[in-house]
Structure 1
């Protein structure tokens, strides 16, 4: 009898694994497609970005005219450390960056969203002013939803390669997302109409060279964001290139 709880737990784990594998194996119910495979393969070259930075011209960072507090949200499957280099550049300009405090981003579950929501509220109370949200990929989608829920606490949303427009399967990562997050990309655990623009200034950084998220999905349509800015980096390059840092610094200095 003492072994029954162990067997039950093992059975539950197997059933959950089977459920997640089934989610990852689902056929695409629409004709959405992610970027072509050649661009996807280039994403695996991201470890070379630091070398490319050293070989290129140095990044000149001017002092911020009006330093901001920036809450940084990582992309799906990424840890905040992946955005540390960019955060340091923003801090060099005089801005204050804050981590989201949740470690790896393993999906927009209700529990994870409520925790980052609490983080936003706490930071707003401590700083006494609206924050700027900088979200990479899925982090940008979550930033948009945070701004919808708390428009009084958010001054601006900047997304980087975030799939907020069109089909949620217009990317090369939706199967992995369903397997890891445990829910379908078009059935989030939080109530959300992802394409709707937050009631604060919202800027979408996107790239035609993105190998993960389709450019149209990250750029968005008029009315789904206030402005869009095209870069020439890969999806991974949104947090690793001089071009992306300059674009973010430019957006922070517009206000």
Structure 2
């Protein structure tokens, strides 16, 4: 997405933002009462789920439980509350990669990384650092192809870190470059937190795919349509075990 294209993107409307909690609650009820479409049983490969900004493992518990019920070895990132990267971004990501490598120690099957919102940025960047140990990356409502001006989360980042997220052209180019393995971005045009255009790749192909669903940003972790896409992606054959 070029600079010209990104300049035409705006934050979601305040109406969409204001109705997020109610729409997310409705999606949670749908998740609990709706009949799930049949999906293949999981093959037991590890799935690591990264929470969004200002959330922790509890926020992605419905998604983790769903993956576990399908037959995968699912876990959250295990680092508690997500306050955003601290200090030098490359050093921070290298430490996170070491942590995730520890979670995968002793496992022969390649892992899937799933990230919600900011957690999807982590999943994508770890996909570049740890590609030989992974089979795919799935992001949910992750604004990798835009700028901090395209979200309503800047104030929250500032509250948690004491400063606004920095818009760096070189970093923006890096973030929008997909990892060298199958990568799926799930997004919603009715997302009230991040601009849906920033969740799409400039180009898609055999390894890169964008999937649109209907729903809120907050409720994506239990949105039935999102869960269906995740289940389908997890069931696809991956590379041979390490």
TM-score with structure 1 length normalisation? 0.79
- Shift of the alpha carbon at 1:200? 1.3
Q: How does 1:42-81 map to 2 (within 5 A)?
A: 42-45=19-22, 46-54=24-32, 56-60=33-37, 62-64=39-41, 66-81=43-58
Q: Does 1:94 align with 2:71?
A: yes
Q: Cα RMSD (Å) of the superposition?
A: 2.4
Aligned: 1:209 with 2:204: no
TM-score, L = length of structure 2? 0.83
Cα pair 1:197 1:223 within 8 Å, conserved: no
- C-alpha change, 1:186 and 1:81, in structure 2 (3 Å) is same
Matches within 5 A, 1:183-202: 183-186=163-166, 193-202=174-183
Relative contact order (C-alpha < 8 Å, sep 6+): which is higher? 2
Q: Which protein shows a greater Rg?
A: 1
Residue equivalent to 2:154: 174
Closer/same/farther in 2, CA of residues 203 and 47 from structure 1, 3 Å limit: same
Aligned with 1:71: secondary structure?
A: strand
Q: Deviations over 1:75-103 (max 9, x none)?
A: 00111111111111111110110221111
Q: 2:108 — aligned with what?
A: 128
Matches within 5 A, 1:112-151: 113-151=93-131
Cα 1:182–1:152, aligned 2, differ >3 Å: closer, same or farther?
farther
C-alpha separation between the residues in 2 aligned to 1:236 and 1:200? 27
User: Equivalent of 1:246, from 214, 218, 228?
Assistant: 228
Deviation, structure 1 residue 153: 1.7
For the structure 1 residues 112 and 42, does the alpha-carbon distance in structure 2 shift closer, same or farther, using more than 3 Å as the test? farther
Q: Which ranges of structure 1 fall in alignment gaps of 5 or more residues?
A: 1-29
Give the gaps of 5 or more residues in structure 2.
1-6, 238-242
Any conservation in 2 of the 1:35–1:211 contact (CA below 8 Å)?
A: yes
Alignment partner, residue 220 of structure 1: 201
Q: 1:164 corresponds to which residue?
A: 144
Distance 1:112 1:140 in 2: 15
Task: Name the CA distance, whole Å, in 2 between partners of 1:50 and 1:226.
Answer: 28
What whole-Å deviation, never above 9, does each CA across 1:106-164 have from its counterpart, x for those lacking one?
A: 11224764443222211333212321000000000011111111211221100000010
